[in-house]
Structures are given as structure tokens and as C-alpha cells.
Amino acid sequence: MEQFHNIGLIGRLGSPQVIDTVRRLSRYLQQQGLNPILEESIASVMPGHNQQVAALKAMGEVADLAVVIGGDGSLLGAARAIARHGVPVVGVNRGRLGFLTDISPDDIEDKIADVLAGHYTSESRFLLGAQVHRKGEVVGEGVGLNDVILHPGKSTRMIALDLYIDGQFVYHQRSDGLIISTPTGSTAYALSGGGPIMHPKLDALVIVPMFPHTLSSRPIVVDGNSELKIVISEQNPTYPHISCDGQTHIHCAPGDAITIRKRPHKLRLIHPLSYNFYDTCRTKLGWATGQGG
């Protein structure tokens, strides 16, 4: 069984409830003889805490376990910083129920105690890397746990693009852009674009066109190890953007090529033993709860 001693606490700023939960969890961990480590931005709004502090990008080097208090967006940011270190991450929800942050703050001590005792399930979630190439040079790159999205930015005009999968031409398209989503992201923005829900254990990507000019353009599910390339038309009149998890933004230009592929390091996501993906879907997406009869 893994021994967790140095516990990183990462919280979403701007929420008194998050601060309260961080304080409560920090006290509990100290009572258990463990070492809470506060992420520096949350530590800055907790005067007099007397705890070890670490920058988010360094948290994976000093923590054995990271606890993210906030919503799924908070966990996405932490995941991109921590995944390469192999440190497991557990999410405590302080907003609406999350697909990633699934521990309720009301029973945080009991659930964290279970995790510390080795009573949990662990999943691997892969991330995507995106690189923007201009005239053979890399001019921008980003990482996403949910998705990589090509979108118009502030423009309202369609984007003309070519899509290649593993070097094979797929189509020329005029649309508002493309969503390239992991299974983790399939219940996020890709879902609102008409994409399918993919179980988190799948090794696959889904490509979802955003308001395509032709109704025959449909989501495509491909192998998770595929290399995707999107080429923006030289004649495209606007300068679209690439967004990773809606948090990292890269400006593109006509003629740019964007390559998207799986990153080598995966996020280790921990859930309580009571976690059930379909139960979360029922709650989050409002599915019927009756069992027939």
C-alpha cells in the first residue's frame, strides 16, 4: 500500500468555502501526524498558517498526494502541472458536482481517511499535447486533460481547415472549429458540441466539428495513439485560436499547422470506493433514475 505523508493542498481562489475546507483539511492532516503543503496562491490568502508552501509547478516534486479543492476546472489546472511527476490527485468538490472532483466537503475527513488507509480506486487519464507550427517553427504549445479546441477567437467568421489523421487526409472543412477531446473531456465542451460520451477507461479521441458548414460532418472517434494535424487554410481571412482545457490559449495564423497527440505522462486520479461513473452521469446530466418495473 502506498504511504502518503506529504499532502499537497491546492484550492481555487476567490471562494471563502474553499479556504474553509483547506483550513479544515490541513488541521485534520496535522492531527494525523501528516505534513500538509499549501500551494502558494492559496497560502497567500491564509495569513498565519505556518505550513510548508510550494508553487504549483513544484508540487509534484514535494508531495506524495495532491488534494484539489474546488471544481473540475481547478483539477484540470493542477493535473497539467502534476501529471508528469506521477503524483496521484484526488478532488474535493466545492461547486457543482464534478466529474473529476467527486468528494463532498461534508464528509471530507472520512473520505480522505479512506484514501490514506488505501481504500480507493485509481485511474489513469491521458493528456493531449498541442503544438502550433508556422513555417517549420514551433510558435506555441499547450497541454490539455479535457480537450484541445480550435476556435475563431473574437471573430464570427468560419475557419477553413484541412484535417489529417496519422498522415492521411480526412477532409477539408469550413466550420467554427474543431474540438479534439479525450475520454475525460467527452463529458465537457465536446458533449455540448454533439460528441459522444466516452467511458474514462477508453484509449480513444473524439473529433467534434463545431457548427460545420455541411450537415454530413459528424464526430469521429479514433485510436488514442493517433497523431492529428489541422492545417489552417492559407486563404483563411481570420486568425483563430487554440485553447487547451479552456485555460491555455495560443494565437494561430493562416497557413499554420497544429499537431495534437497523446502526452507520455498520465494523470493518476484517485476516487473513493463509492465512486461510480454512471452515477455521476445520472446526477450531472439529469438522466432518469427509475429502474423500470
CATH number reported for the structural domain that contains residue 239 in this entry: 2.60.200.30
Dig out the grid coordinates for 25 from the structure.
483539511
246 is a domain residue: yes
Residue 274 CB neighbour total at 10 angstroms? 11
Q: What is the CATH number of the domain that holds 280?
A: 3.40.50.10330
Question: In the chain, how many domains are there?
Answer: 2
The catalytic residue positions are 72
Same domain, 193 and 231: yes
Question: What share of residues in the chain are helix, strand, coil (percent, to 5)?
Answer: 25, 40, 35
Single pTM value for the model: 0.93
Alpha-carbon distance values, 111 to 18, 114, 275 (Å): 17, 5, 11
Q: What is the 3-state secondary structure (H, E, C) of 86-103?
A: CCCEEEEECCCCCCCCCE
Domain limits for position 88? 6-119+273-285
Q: What is the pLDDT of residues 93-135, one digit of tens each?
A: 987 778 999 899 998 999 999 999 999 999 999 999 999 999 9
Same domain, 278 and 245: no
Q: What is the pLDDT of residues 154-188, one digit of tens each?
A: 888 899 999 999 999 999 999 999 999 999 999 99
Contacts of 177 (CB under 8 A, 6+ apart): 149, 150, 151, 152, 159, 209, 210, 240
Count CA atoms closer than 13 A to 259's CA, side-chain side: 15
Same domain, 39 and 141: no
Q: What is the pLDDT of residues 7-25, one digit of tens each?
A: 999 998 888 999 999 999 9
Same domain, 207 and 172: yes
Q: Are 128 and 16 in contact (CB under 8 A)?
A: no
35 is a domain residue: yes
Q: What is the pLDDT of residues 181-228, one digit of tens each?
A: 999 999 999 999 999 999 999 999 999 999 999 888 999 999 999 999
293 is a domain residue: no
Determine the Cα–Cα distance for residues 181 and 110; give it in Å rounded to an integer: 34
292 is a domain residue: no
